[in-house]
């Protein structure tokens, strides 16, 4: 995204500060490591007494710059220092891929520690968290700070040790789940997460926007008859096209009259919609959704006998995540794997509400300006576009749109083949495993050797990416290769035009397209990008407009055998408009989700606050008495208006003539039993007194 006038003004002010940092590079150059470590203690002590000034930031950034030069051999350039100042002010820095965002993070993390804050750095996945902790964490350790890595699968003691560190690397999900788990413990010493002071989010748009559609859930197993899923699967497999209707765009499927009659005969019931048969109706609907709305290798993948959800934004499998409300069990029955028990939600929070609990928040990404309005509304964060250190030397070509999928396939093979023959490395992006395998089949048929990266072989990601920039290498990847991956080029391919990126579909968001394009032309390298599309693509199919649909059908009939791309502004506008509509639709979903969760959030915070207070009480007697007194006041105010409960002894209310139940008996009662006992006890006493 290009810089706005406001961006240029902000960057100019920060550039002046960055120049001052560079001027002080000699100040720390002659110091040894022990002297640099002493600087950390010097600043920590100083900022206990006063706030950090702009002048302080200049000296601190110069210190970090020198430490990074010594430990990892990287010296922050002007634009990286500008990005650091932006992050320090609680904004999102949009920095193009390859501009060194990871190094930039060092400066703001260090200065927040000096402010006395615990620092959490959130990455898009655990692979990046481990990589950055190993590479960049060394600089912080060189300066005398502690660095931890928060990943899944650790026990309580390991987690508690990690959270004692000054800086903790991890994923949004792991930090969020730790928060939820902490609010389910029975003893305060079992908590692991410390204060939520400052969080720096890498790939901020992906985490704060894309992942915001899926709330974080902790659940346990719910007992039910799992055999019904297999039985319902048998029913749905007998359904013919006249038995049901599928509305893919609205993600809805329903039975026609013929299908309803077939289901009723199958289950041996008079009405599928009768209240007593609601469980059968529910499970039939779930299997219909599993068969006709959920697609293997697109929405999920089956690995080692387990159904794993695929993240639509990253293309990665999500171990441990399951679809809710029985849908996951329905898919398991459809795929013939073990059907596991349905879960019930014990604790949940949205990504938005979790991160808004931090005292301070900032982020960095290669693509965020297009979503600045949403980021400002929800997180109160502005986006500042940082200029590149070197001019972007990538040729971004106009989309080629074909009428049919077959024509598109031929164009992809042609584009890849001539570039492959001259030795240019090529990265082909697809939106799903299914389309990934389709393109792979086309390339194999054409005799073009290639390597494939998707959720099925994610464990080979590092090796595949390491080879992707070599001469003559063709790499076919889902969105997994879109973020956080640095494809290093062989020296011999620069004269061939660098890495060629070919997109085979436009995604639901322009940001994901830009991330794919950004794999090429990094740090001034030459590069090329182009999208090859068709009017059969899923994105275009989502465009719910009768006039457009009629126009597309006419064009397909007219040019079905034409292998040339469409030369129509109208068709190209259709693709752009379809993408904008989907972005708008997804934004509405996120708005609705946070609006719903904000109501729950008020209650969640109140319950968790009260729960924390209880965990800190050694003896619950006084607390229980207060609660019982409040209940008693409500009960007796109507029946005994002359009794002032506030000054009555509990003995007068509990176990006495007014209420013939002991304290211990009351604590074991359910709410309904207590209310019934309250009124029956009073009633009996009233009758006895008459």
Mapped onto helix, strand or coil, the DSSP state of residue 401 is strand
- Is the pLDDT at 482 greater than 70, yes or no? no
Q: What DSSP string runs through 275-344?
A: GGGHHHHHHHHHHHHHHHT--BTTTEEEETTEEEEEPTTT--EETT---TTTHHHHHHHHHTSPPPPEEE
CB-neighbour burial class of residue 275 (10 A; exposed 0-12, middle 13-18, buried 19+): exposed
Q: Both tokens of residue 16?
A: 């002046």
Q: The domain that contains 402 carries what CATH number?
A: 3.40.50.300
Chain centre distance of CA 539? 22
Beta strands in 174-276, from DSSP E residues, in sequence order: 198-202, 216-222, 244-247, 252-255
**Mean pLDDT of all residues in 409-415:** 96
- Is the pLDDT at 154 greater than 90, yes or no? yes
Q: The domain that contains 288 carries what CATH number?
A: 3.90.1440.10
Residue of 69, 56, 63, 57 whose CA lies nearest to 38:
63
Same domain, 282 and 253: yes
CB 298 within 8 A of CB 430: no
DSSP state for residue 448 in the 8-state scheme: -
Same domain, 638 and 568: no
Label residues 472-481 b or e (16+ Cβ within 10 Å = b): bbbbbbbbbb
Domain of 324 in residue numbering reads as: 224-340
Asked, for residue 598, whether it belongs to a domain, the answer is no
Identify the pLDDT of residue 272: 93
- Those residues whose C-beta lies under 8 Å from the C-beta of residue 610, and which sit 6 or more positions away, are none
Same domain, 61 and 79: yes
Q: Which range among 30-44, 244-258, 412-426, 583-597 shows the weakest confidence by mean pLDDT?
A: 583-597
Extract long-range pairs of 618-621: CB within 8 Å, 24+ residues apart.
none
**Mean pLDDT of all residues in 460-473:** 87
Q: Number of helices (H) and strands (E), helices first, in the chain?
A: 28, 21
Three-state secondary structure of 142-166: HCCCCEEEECCCCCHHHHHHHCCCC
Q: How far apart are the C-alpha atoms of 140 and 147, rounded to whole Å?
A: 7
Same domain, 473 and 581: yes
Residue of 493, 480, 490 whose CA lies nearest to 519:
480
**Mean pLDDT of all residues in 135-150:** 96
Q: Indicate the pLDDT class of residue 689, thresholds 50, 70 and 90.
A: very low
Same domain, 462 and 525: yes
Identify the pLDDT of residue 6: 75
Element (H, E) at 66: helix 54-71
Number of domains in the chain: 4
Task: Considering only residues 310 and 679, tell me which one the structure prediction assigns the higher pLDDT.
Answer: 310
- Whole-prediction pTM: 0.77
Task: Considering only residues 663 and 182, tell me which one the structure prediction assigns the higher pLDDT.
Answer: 182
Asked, for residue 593, whether it belongs to a domain, the answer is no
**Mean pLDDT of all residues in 181-205:** 94
521-552 pLDDT per residue, tens = 888 889 999 999 988 888 877 666 666 667 76
Same domain, 190 and 264: no
Same domain, 460 and 502: yes
Task: Considering only residues 393 and 332, tell me which one the structure prediction assigns the higher pLDDT.
Answer: 332
- Is the pLDDT at 320 greater than 70, yes or no? yes
Asked, for residue 456, whether it belongs to a domain, the answer is yes
Q: Both tokens of residue 447?
A: 């005799």
- Is the pLDDT at 68 greater than 80, yes or no? yes
Asked, for residue 613, whether it belongs to a domain, the answer is no
Q: How far apart are the C-alpha atoms of 347 and 642, rounded to whole Å?
A: 44
Asked, for residue 33, whether it belongs to a domain, the answer is yes
657-672 pLDDT per residue, tens = 455 555 556 555 555 6
218-248 pLDDT per residue, tens = 877 666 778 899 999 999 999 999 999 998 7
DSSP state for residue 442 in the 8-state scheme: H
Asked, for residue 401, whether it belongs to a domain, the answer is yes
Asked, for residue 249, whether it belongs to a domain, the answer is yes
- Is the pLDDT at 48 greater than 60, yes or no? yes
Task: Considering only residues 477 and 325, tell me which one the structure prediction assigns the higher pLDDT.
Answer: 477
Same domain, 195 and 264: no
Percent helix, strand, coil in the chain, to 5, is 55, 15, 30
Asked, for residue 608, whether it belongs to a domain, the answer is no
Mapped onto helix, strand or coil, the DSSP state of residue 269 is coil
Binding residues, as ranges, are 80, 98-102, 486
Q: Return the C-alpha torsion angle 326, 329, 331, 333, nearest 10.
A: -130
Identify the pLDDT of residue 687: 39
Same domain, 245 and 333: yes
Chain centre distance of CA 54? 34
Q: How far apart are the C-alpha atoms of 471 and 493, rounded to whole Å?
A: 6
What percent of the chain lies above the pLDDT cut of 90? 50
Binding residues for ATP, as ranges, are 80, 98-102, 486
In the block, tokens 């039975």 appear at: 255
Same domain, 434 and 554: yes
- Is the pLDDT at 73 greater than 80, yes or no? yes
- Is the pLDDT at 187 greater than 80, yes or no? yes
Same domain, 325 and 462: no
Q: Both tokens of residue 446?
A: 């054409």
Looking at 586, 607, 631, the residue that finishes a domain is 586
Same domain, 560 and 667: no
What percent of the chain lies above the pLDDT cut of 70? 84
Q: How far apart are the C-alpha atoms of 287 and 49, rounded to whole Å?
A: 64
Give the Å distances, CA to CA, from 369 to 201, 233, 514, 583: 16, 46, 12, 14
């Amino acid at each position: 995204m290009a810089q706005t006038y406001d961006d240029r003004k902000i960057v100019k002010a920060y550039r002046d500060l960055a120049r001052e940092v560079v001027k002080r590079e000699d100040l720390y150059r002659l110091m040894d490591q022990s002297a640099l470590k002493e600087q950390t203690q010097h600043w920590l002590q100083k900022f206990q007494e006063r706030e950090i000034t702009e002048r302080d930031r200049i000296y601190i950034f110069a210190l970090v710059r020198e430490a990074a030069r010594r430990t990892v051999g990287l010296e922050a350039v002007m634009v990286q220092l500008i990005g650091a100042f932006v992050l320090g002010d609680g904004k999102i820095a949009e920095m193009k891929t390859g501009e060194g965002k990871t190094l930039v993070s060092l400066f703001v993390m260090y200065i927040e520690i000096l402010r006395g804050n615990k620092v959490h750095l959130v990455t898009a996945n655990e692979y990046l968290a481990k990589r950055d902790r190993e590479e960049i964490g060394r600089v912080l350790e060189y300066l005398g700070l502690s660095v931890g890595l928060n990943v899944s699968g650790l026990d309580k003691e390991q987690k508690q040790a990690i959270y004692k560190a000054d800086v903790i690397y991890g994923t949004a999900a792991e930090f969020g789940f730790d928060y939820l788990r902490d609010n389910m413990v029975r003893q305060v010493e079992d908590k692991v997460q410390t204060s939520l002071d400052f969080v720096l989010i890498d790939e901020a748009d992906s985490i704060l926007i894309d992942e915001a559609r899926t709330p974080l859930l902790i659940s346990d197993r719910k007992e039910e008859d799992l055999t019904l899923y297999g039985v319902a699967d048998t029913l749905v497999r007998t359904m013919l096209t006249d038995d049901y209707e599928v509305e893919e765009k609205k993600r809805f499927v329903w039975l026609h009259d013929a299908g309803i009659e077939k289901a009723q005969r199958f289950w041996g019931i008079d009405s599928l919609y009768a209240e007593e048969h609601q469980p059968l109706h529910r499970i039939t609907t779930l299997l219909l959704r599993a068969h006709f709305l959920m697609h293997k290798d697109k929405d999920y993948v089956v690995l080692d006998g387990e159904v794993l959800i695929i993240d639509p934004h990253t293309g990665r499998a999500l171990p441990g995540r399951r679809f809710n409300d029985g849908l996951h069990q329905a898919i398991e029955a459809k795929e013939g794997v073990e059907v596991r028990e349905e879960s019930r939600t014990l604790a949940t929070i949205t990504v938005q509400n979790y991160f808004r609990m931090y005292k301070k928040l900032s982020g960095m990404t290669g693509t965020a300006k297009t979503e600045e309005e949403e980021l400002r509304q929800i997180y109160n964060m502005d986006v500042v576009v940082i200029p590149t250190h070197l001019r972007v030397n990538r040729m971004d070509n106009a989309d080629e749109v074909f009428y049919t999928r077959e024509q598109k396939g031929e164009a992809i093979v042609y584009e890849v083949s001539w570039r492959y023959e001259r030795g240019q490395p090529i990265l082909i992006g697809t939106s799903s495993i299914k389309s990934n395998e389709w393109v792979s089949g086309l390339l194999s048929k054409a005799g073009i050797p290639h390597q494939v990266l998707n959720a099925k072989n994610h464990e080979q990601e590092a090796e595949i990416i390491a080879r992707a920039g070599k001469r003559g290498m063709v790499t076919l990847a889902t969105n997994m290769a879109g973020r956080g991956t640095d494809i290093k080029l062989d020296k011999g391919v620069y004269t061939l035009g660098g890495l060629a990126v070919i997109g085979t579909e436009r995604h639901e968001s322009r940001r994901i397209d830009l991330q794919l394009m950004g794999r090429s032309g990094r740090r001034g390298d030459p590069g090329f990008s182009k999208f090859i599309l068709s009017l059969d693509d899923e994105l275009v199919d989502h465009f719910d407009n009768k006039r457009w649909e009629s126009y597309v059908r006419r064009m397909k009939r007219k040019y079905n055998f034409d292998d040339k791309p469409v030369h129509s502004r109208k068709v190209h506008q259709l693709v752009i408009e379809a993408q904008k509509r989907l972005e708008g639709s997804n934004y509405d979903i996120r708005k609705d989700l946070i609006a719903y969760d904000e109501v729950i959030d008020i209650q969640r915070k109140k319950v968790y606050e009260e729960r924390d207070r209880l965990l800190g009480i050694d003896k619950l007697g006084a607390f229980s008495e207060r609660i019982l007194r409040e209940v008693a006041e409500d009960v007796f105010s109507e029946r005994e208006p002359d009794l002032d409960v506030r000054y009555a002894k509990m003995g007068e209310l509990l176990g006495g003539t007014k209420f013939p139940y002991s304290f211990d008996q009351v604590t074991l009662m359910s709410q309904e039993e207590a209310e019934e006992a309250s009124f029956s006890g009073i009633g009996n006493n009233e009758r006895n007194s008459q």
